[in-house]
Amino acid sequence: MTDQAKKSALLPVTRVSGRPIPLPGNDIDTDRIIPARFMTAITFDGLGELAFRDARFGADGKPLDHPMNDPRFRAKGPRVAIVNKNFGCGSSREHAPQAMWRWGVQAIVGESFADIFFGNCVAMGIPCVTASEADVASLLRAVEADPSQDLVVDLDAMTATRGGTSVPVSMPEGARTQLLRGTWDATRILVDALPKVRETADRLPYVGGFAR
């Protein structure tokens, strides 16, 4: 069974706690998160260590200055990423959130997310919540100063909390409901309505080739 299949039983996602990993910068595209040359495979296995490969290592294989290489942020275990604007823009490749998830990222707090990336994360049970520019900036500063404290994303309270400090976060209500109820893996719910799907299809003239 793949990791994904194991994850796909109905599991509510209410609260994610993890070591923070700052990934600052606007418009970080999915090519940056996982370069296309690592996608010639028929599984998502092994993508974790390849996340942000070209931002983390030079052409000679030597590590570059990147938070994911910083020993202060290398502790194993669940992680919560902190990002800026339009994170995950570009290619629809689910390989991007898959790589991040396999590197330990279980939730992301940011200023904004690209639509397809956001949808992919929901479908994997990874909450992407947004906070104000000022709150994200102060989170990034606080985490840089002290990386040891966990960051907690709470979808009930809609807060991101670190130490004694909480900031309000938001998320479109539909996605939030899916995560809270554990219906983020929509397949079964969609399949349950197959008779209604067939009725909808039958009412669309093109499905019958405009025969009538």
Partner 1 sequence: MGKSLLDKVWERHSVRELESGQTQLFIGLHLVHEVTSPQAFAMIREAGLGVPFPDRTFATVDHIIPTDTQVRPLADGQAETMMSAIESNCREFGIRLFTPESGHQGIVHVIGPELGLTQPGMTIACGDSHTSTHGAFGAVAFGIGTSQVRDVLASQCLAIQRPKVRRVEVTGRLRPGVYAKDVILDVIRRLGVKGGVGFAYEYAGEVFDAMSMEERMTVCNMSIEGGARLGYVNPDRTTVEYLRGRSFAPTGDAFTRAEAWWTSMASDPDASFHDRVSIDGRGIAPTVTWGINPGQAIGVDEKVPAAAAFAADERATVEDAYEYMGLAAGQAIAGTKIDVAFIGSCTNGRLSDLREAAKVARLGRVKPGVKALVVPGSQAVARAAEAEGLHETFRAAGFEWRLPGCSMCLAMNPDKLSGRQVCASSSNRNFKGRQGSPSGRTLLMSPAMVAAAAIEGAVVDVRDFLSKAPA
Compute the distance between CA of residue 192 and CA of residue 199 in angstroms, rounded to an integer.
14
* Closer residue to partner 1 (CB): 75 or 201: 201
Q: What's the closest the beta carbon of residue 100 comes to partner 1, in angstroms?
A: 13
* Closer residue to partner 1 (CB): 17 or 182: 182
3-state secondary structure (DSSP) of residue 131: coil
Q: What's the closest the beta carbon of residue 163 comes to partner 1, in angstroms?
A: 26
Q: What's the closest the beta carbon of residue 32 comes to partner 1, in angstroms?
A: 6
* Closer residue to partner 1 (CB): 5 or 145: 5
**Pairing relation of β-strands 15-23 and 128-130?**
unpaired
What b/e readout covers 148-171, taking b as 16+ CB neighbours within 10 angstroms? eebbbbbbeeebbbbeeeebebeb
* Closer residue to partner 1 (CB): 75 or 189: 189
Give me the residues paired with residue 82 across strands. Answer: 22, 109
In sequence order, what are the residues at sequence separation of 6 or more whose Cβ sits closer than 8 angstroms to the Cβ of residue 119? Answer: none
Q: What's the closest the beta carbon of residue 173 comes to partner 1, in angstroms?
A: 6
Cβ-based neighbour number of residue 88 at 10 Å: 30
